[in-house]
């Protein structure tokens, strides 16, 4: 009877250890994906900023060209 109880106790402990290990792995994966998503978001933001800058520069240069043309006239 005691041996049986001991066996079951050991089994329970092993199960909880496995469960904890799996949970740890899952959390690690979650953390990694979270970091990846954050990096993606940051990159997207930066790209948007750059595009905006480029567009503004283009607009400015176009304006300058127009004003130069008008001055020539």
Query: pTM to 2 decimals?
Result: 0.45
Intervals of the chain under pLDDT 50: none
Residues in the chain, total: 73
> How confident is the model at residue 38, as a pLDDT?
96
Structure tokens at 32: 């990694």
> How confident is the model at residue 72, as a pLDDT?
60
What is the domain partition of the chain in residue ranges?
36-73
Continuous H helices in the chain: 2-72
């Amino acid at each position: 009877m005691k041996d049986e109880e001991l066996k079951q106790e050991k089994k329970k402990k092993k199960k909880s250890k496995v469960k904890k290990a799996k949970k740890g792995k899952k959390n690690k994966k979650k953390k990694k994906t979270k970091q990846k998503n954050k990096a993606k978001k940051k990159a997207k933001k930066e790209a948007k900023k750059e595009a905006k800058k480029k567009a503004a520069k283009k607009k400015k240069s176009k304006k300058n060209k127009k004003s130069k043309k008008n001055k020539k006239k």
